[in-house]
Amino acid sequence: MGCGAAVTVVRNGRRTRHGFEKKATRTRGRRRELVEELQAGLYEAGVRPWFQPIVDADTRTVVAWEALVRWAHPELGVISPDRLLPLLDMSGMNSELLELIVVGSLDFLGRLDAMGANGHLVHVNVNPSDLR
């Protein structure tokens, strides 16, 4: 409950209805819409792996990469994992995400090899449910 709603409860009593319920309903509705967009296809929705370099502090060279997931939403901009992963859990598409990240990582490694940057690794975080 927000501060304004808490003040209203104190002034008017606990059994009073408050305006924040409407916002929660809109938020749930928007969340459902986003889940439906994801279910139509992760790649088509704009979900992509992004690759962050892992640098050796002593040599200052890239020793590996970490695959990160981002959603470049056409209206909302880049959606980070803290918002995206709960939506994927709701949609039941964690396995599809893993496949998208692994295939994208292999493609990325292939492009590195083609540029002469051989021997790189990509670290991929895996949902424990995908290990069963």
The 10s digit of each residue's pLDDT in 80-120 is 888 888 888 888 888 889 999 999 999 999 999 999 988 88
pLDDT band at 1; cut points 50, 70, 90: very low
Q: Give the separation between CA 129 and CA 126, rounded to whole angstroms.
A: 8
| Tens of pLDDT, residues 30-49 | 788 888 888 877 888 888 99
Task: Decide if 45 contacts 71 (C-beta within 8 A).
Answer: yes
Q: Which is it for strands 122-124 and 62-73: parallel, antiparallel or unpaired?
A: parallel
What is the average pLDDT score of the chain? 81
Give yes or no for a contact between 47 and 97, defined as CB atoms under 8 angstroms apart: yes
Mean pLDDT of 2-28: 51
What confidence score (pLDDT) does residue 3 get?
A: 46
Predicted local distance difference test score (pLDDT) of residue 88? 87
User: How many residues are listed for the chain in this entry?
Assistant: 132
